[in-house]
Structure 1
Amino acid sequence: MNYDLVVIGGGSAGLASAISAFDQGVKKILILEKDLYLGGILLQCIHNGFGLTKYKEELTGPEYADRYVNELKIRAIDFKVQTMVLKITPDLQVHFSNARDGYQIVQSKAIIMATGCSERTRGAINIPGDRVPGVLTAGLAQKYLNIDGYLVGKRIFILGSGDIGLIMARRMTLEGATVLGVAEIMPYSNGLSRNIVQCLQDFNIPLFLKHTVKRIIGKHHLEKIVVAEVDDHFNFVSGTEREWEVDTLMLSVGLIPSIPLIENIGVLVNPKTKGPLVDESFMTSIPGLFACGNALHVHDLVDFVSLEAEKTGLAVARYLNDSLKQDYKLLKTQAGKDLLYVLPNTVNLNNLERINFNFRVSRPLYDSYLNIIVNGKLLKKIKKAFMLPAEMESIELATSLLEEGVLEIEVADA
């Protein structure tokens, strides 16, 4: 069977991009979702705080997802759940399998990768010690508790101050567990400021900056951990070791875009974001293959995922009706001093009147300036009171101000 657009992933990015493309005239769309229901990770995020940007009201994760699922059903967009995508090809064939249809191959004119991201595990950060039950990622603990109804432990320690870990510190406390503390190897938190306040400070849960887990101890189950301070080079500081008796170590040590399907066909990957390199239309290095949401780069808020996905759906519609300009006026982007990355990676200045650039700083910065530099010339200087690695920054520029060459964004002292 042939489709105009196949969307891989039925979470917030997949739903928003499919609806946006449909509204722009792309009618033959198929969404493929591996889980039992549409909605993605939102279904296990039962706390509030979603929708403030998109809907101007506070929603829980399932409520936010439900709005998009209802919009999808109104438009009668095709979708398949409990479906595993096995591979895609450079000519945009999608191979998938499920219990109802068996092994299927569909041909598409465009594909959107909206596969989200995955958590870094114990193996990814090489924590020494015994290999025992009781060590798991915060997202998995969240699923066990909010979806399956299992409390994974009673005495909890959390490694890493990512937002999922902070939210689970509060959630476990509310369910009667004791959260002894949160250790963060960096000298600053990697979570949103509101989560530090609402999830840790409001519940008197200590945050140990410049600390990490040195050893995991247990025989048949986790019994204790050793936490120690680290210096500026991330080496353990002798004499700072402290043992904590716990039955659960929860990891919140970073998220990585889930893109093995497209890595296998040679899509160029951004070494900083771990997602694909994209242009202003969110198209990867393979024509017709797009990426958005956490499969492109990790976002702070689902509202930002939805807004980015809507732009991607619009870009796909323009691609399918040949509205994207083929004559290139190419601008490449570059992360300068104190920046981790800038997206998009390339811009065809002929395609859009205004471009939104997303970027993230590498360390907390206060009373500084953003310098927007094009081909070595200072285009714009923007005063910023503060910028944090945990919070994505964004600026919008008119393409009339830009020219072919290289755009660099850097931080300068006030």
Structure 2
Amino acid sequence: MLMYDIVIIGGGPAGLAAAIAVAEEGIDNIIILEREDSLGGTLRQSVHNGYGLERFREDLTGPEYAERFISVIENFGIEYKLKTTVLEVNDNKEILAVNGEDGIIKLKAKAIIMALGCREVPRTTVNLSEAQPAGIFTAGSAQKLINLDGYMPGKEIVIYGSTDIGLIMARRFIMEGVKVHALIEPLSYCKGSRKNVIQCISDFQIPLKLEYNIKYVHGNDRVEGVTIAPLDPEGNLLDQGEEFIGCNTIILAVKLTPENDLLKKCGVNICPDTGGAQVDENMRTNIEGIFVCGNAVHYHDNVDDITKESERAGKKAADYVKGFEDGKEKIQVLKGPSIRYVVPSYISKGNIDNSVELSFRVDAVYEHHKICIYIDGEKEMSIPKEIMNYGDLEKISIPPALLERCQAAKNITVTIEKE
């Protein structure tokens, strides 16, 4: 059995940042396990710009951003294994993995950082119609085909769903000379961020069909078109207003969900609202010595936030290995009405020296509201917001003075209220 101080599972942006943070704390007996054939995660196929604006004050593509961290990994001499799939993790921090070169690998760690990322829901979970012809792809698989493999999935596109990757791929198709006939979204608003709606849909004049759904997928061997129909307020298809759109490809951009299979296997508590790990402000889980960061906790809007969070996970994992621990008593963080989720799930009671940032998403579009913080039912903070969108991650920082006052509290609640 191979012995390590810290094992990082996942070599995407979260895993890279966490590993570097561990090395900077003076711990060098670490390893990254990555199932793909290179480090970088989905950054490798994200060739659009917009990365690193906060971290590096530069406008980088995904591969450029990843290379900044990979070069540091190489300079530190951090060990990593590629094409390595982790099969099992238990609460004793024992890991079972496999690859083509070493076969079965058994590892034992003092601490584990799980940077597992997230995945798209498969096409089988999207109830389009009984027909399942060729030409239906998830947005992520289409992105990989175009940007890494050099293949074009189709020439006449309809996009179903409005997550960020769907909006980005709509723009990508247009830039490749492909006809994007429409983006279909059953909700009355886009699920993606306001920035991507403007830069990808509005700027490229892609037809946006809100409160519509796909009624039929036409075609036997290959997609030949879709029939769409408007929805009533209850989400039911209406017979009036049906429209046929000819296309040979449907791109699904419905939902991203954290990779949580390994988390469940080792007993990490899963947040029912995010599908990711329940963590405190230092990315610690309910299993001692196991930390989770990045999109395995919840989907982030930008990679700079992932980097910052994962560096914190790396530092705290290093502290754990060195024997430094914060208090184990926690204050539970709750969500109020109109909030889809809030992270972290807990705040350590001993943490009174630094502010704690709470991140959350609302369940619709809200104008002229305020973000409110309640401690054991008493309102302690209120910050006005002109607009909050379904697709944008909102943040509020709890200052040290307030944290010190709530050391005896049981819970902190984040909610929004009309101004």
TM-score by length of 1: 0.97
Q: Specify the alignment match of 1:315 in structure 2.
A: 316
Instruction: Return the alpha-carbon distance in structure 2 between the equivalents of residues 7 and 198 of structure 1.
Output: 35
Instruction: Return the alpha-carbon distance in structure 1 between the equivalents of residues 310 and 326 of structure 2.
Output: 21
Q: Specify the alignment match of 1:338 in structure 2.
A: 338
Aligned-partner residue type, residue 415 of structure 2: E
| Alpha-carbon shift at residue 389 of structure 1 (Å) | 1.8
Q: Which deviations, in whole Å up to 9, do the C-alpha atoms of 1:297-348 show, x marking residues without a partner?
A: 00111111111111111111222222223452x2101000211111111111
Q: Specify the alignment match of 2:75 in structure 1.
A: 74
Q: Within 5 Å, give how 1:125-274 maps onto structure 2.
A: 125-274=126-275
Q: Would you say the 8 A contact 2:21–2:315 is kept in 1?
A: yes
Aligned-partner residue type, residue 320 of structure 1: V
Q: 1:406 aligns with which of 396, 404, 411?
A: 411
| Alpha-carbon shift at residue 269 of structure 1 (Å) | 0.8
5+ residue gaps in structure 2? none
Instruction: Return the alpha-carbon distance in structure 1 between the equivalents of residues 167 and 356 of structure 2.
Output: 33
Instruction: Return the alpha-carbon distance in structure 1 between the equivalents of residues 200 and 367 of structure 2.
Output: 24
SS at match of 1:384: strand
Instruction: Return the alpha-carbon distance in structure 1 between the equivalents of residues 378 and 175 of structure 2.
Output: 54
Change (3 A) 1:64 1:327: closer
Q: Would you say the 8 A contact 1:324–1:351 is kept in 2?
A: no
| Alpha-carbon shift at residue 280 of structure 1 (Å) | 2.2
Q: Would you say the 8 A contact 2:376–2:410 is kept in 1?
A: yes
Q: Which deviations, in whole Å up to 9, do the C-alpha atoms of 1:88-127 show, x marking residues without a partner?
A: 1110111111121111101001111111100012222222
Q: Would you say the 8 A contact 2:333–2:346 is kept in 1?
A: yes
| Alpha-carbon shift at residue 172 of structure 1 (Å) | 1.0
SS at match of 1:203: coil
What do you get for the CA RMSD once the two structures are aligned? Answer: 1.2
Are 2:58 and 1:57 equivalent residues in the alignment?
yes
Instruction: Return the alpha-carbon distance in structure 2 between the equivalents of residues 380 and 402 of structure 1.
Output: 13
Instruction: Return the alpha-carbon distance in structure 2 between the equivalents of residues 327 and 290 of structure 1.
Output: 14
Q: Would you say the 8 A contact 1:48–1:61 is kept in 2?
A: yes
Q: Which deviations, in whole Å up to 9, do the C-alpha atoms of 1:133-186 show, x marking residues without a partner?
A: 101101100000000100000100000111111111111111121000101111
Aligned-partner residue type, residue 23 of structure 2: F
Q: Would you say the 8 A contact 2:90–2:267 is kept in 1?
A: no
Change (3 A) 1:352 1:318: farther
TM-score by length of 2: 0.96
SS at match of 2:416: strand
Task: Give the length in aligned residue pairs.
Answer: 413
Change (3 A) 1:80 1:4: same
Instruction: Return the alpha-carbon distance in structure 2 between the equivalents of residues 346 and 32 of structure 1.
Output: 28
Q: Would you say the 8 A contact 2:301–2:393 is kept in 1?
A: yes
Q: Within 5 Å, give how 1:271-350 maps onto structure 2.
A: 271-326=272-327, 328=329, 330-350=330-350
Q: Would you say the 8 A contact 1:129–1:217 is kept in 2?
A: no
SS at match of 1:222: coil
User: Identity, % of aligned pairs?
Assistant: 37
SS at match of 2:151: coil
